[in-house]
Amino acid sequence: MRILLLGSTGYLGGHVAERLRALPGVRLLRGGRAPDDDHRIDLAGITTDALAEQLSKAAPDAVVNCAGTVSGTTLNLAEVNSRGPAVLCEALRAAAPDARLVHLGSAAEYGPRGAGERTPEDTPARPVTPYGATKLAGTLAVLEARIDALVLRVTEPVGPGAPPAGLPGRLTAELSRAVARSPHGTLRAGDLSAYRDFVDVRDVAQAVALALALPGRLPRLLNIGSGRAAPARDLAHGLADAAGFTGDIEETPGAADRPTAVPWQCSDITAAEWELGWRPRFTLRESLAALWASDGAPLLAPATGDPA
């Protein structure tokens, strides 16, 4: 099976690549801007004809799109997160109409939900950030494409290699600096009151592998998360526990007139469990231990305390 992976140098893409390489009978082709990529494909700015030409050369049986950006100008977000998937779908229809496309979306597309709710796939999407809005536009392009395609709508990924642009990576970097000063000092964090559905990045990669392997048509949209909401402060305390950090964690509450845009996030993952035979394997504590071991400072003491 020839699988073309777009965005293989990113956080999700790197773990997806590692998982797919381990599958028997898979030849993994990487498409991107890196010198060692198999095909020079940059969804930002590429034309449909140029992308169709690259797809014809690659002749993939399946394509996984992990390409995306979480920061930058609204124009840049739209170019990568919205236009990119739309062009990809059109090019696939022209050059590789039988290939399956697995596109990674984001739970940020849903927008705010009521506390205590699990969000199913048929919930109306009402994003409140440019990132969520542009990711939603990309998802809609895939859902409406006349090809074999599905979207895995991922919640908050956590685990080894988390980038500093996201909360897990940012807290890891801040904790590393705090540990360097003193294992008994103070970690100054931001507002940690929001609840998030944290899912291990390795579990996301497994969901992608299953979506590629299963024959027949699958639902066009599946949530991929843990199915549980945890406060962001559990992330900070879990990392501190993994690091042996015994100092104080000082939260900075958000301004009263600028509340957290999405205070609660929790996805209903029943459909993914049923359709893919997939369930998250890693606990939040295991994910944070792996994150600290890969990205944080060396352990100062054995981890202690309650699970995150």
To the nearest whole number, what is the mean pLDDT of the chain? Answer: 92
Residues forming a β-bridge with 31: 6, 39
The answer to whether residue 303 scores a pLDDT higher than 70 is no
Q: What is the mean pLDDT of residues 147-175?
A: 95
Predicted local distance difference test score (pLDDT) of residue 101: 98
- Reported residue count of the chain is 308
> For every residue of 97-109, which 3-state class applies, written as one string?
CCCEEEEEEEHHH
Which tens digits make up the pLDDT trace of 268-281? Answer: 999 999 999 999 99
Q: Averaged over 119-126, what is the pLDDT?
A: 97
The predicted model gives 115-132 an average pLDDT of: 96
pTM: 0.93
Confidence of residue 297 (pLDDT cuts 50, 70, 90): low
Most confident residue range from 150-159, 186-195, 296-305: 150-159
Q: Is the pLDDT of residue 298 over 70?
A: no
Mean pLDDT of the 90-106 span: 97
| pLDDT score, position 306 | 34
User: Which tokens in the block code for residue 77?
Assistant: 């977000």
254 and 260 Cβ atoms separated by less than 8 Å: yes
- Percentage of the chain surpassing pLDDT 90? 81
| Cβ–Cβ < 8 Å for 66, 103 | no
For the chain, the first-to-last Cα distance in angstroms comes to 39
For the chain, the 3-state helix, strand and coil shares in percent, each to the nearest 5, are 40, 15, 45
Is 195 one of the catalytic residues? no
Residue 103 forms beta bridges with which residues? 65, 151
Specify the pairing of strand 39-40 against strand 2-6.
unpaired
Q: Are 127 and 257 in contact (CB under 8 A)?
A: no
Catalytic residue (choose from 11, 110, 131, 195): 131
List pLDDT tens digits, range 19-41.
999 999 999 999 988 888 888 89
pLDDT at 51: 97
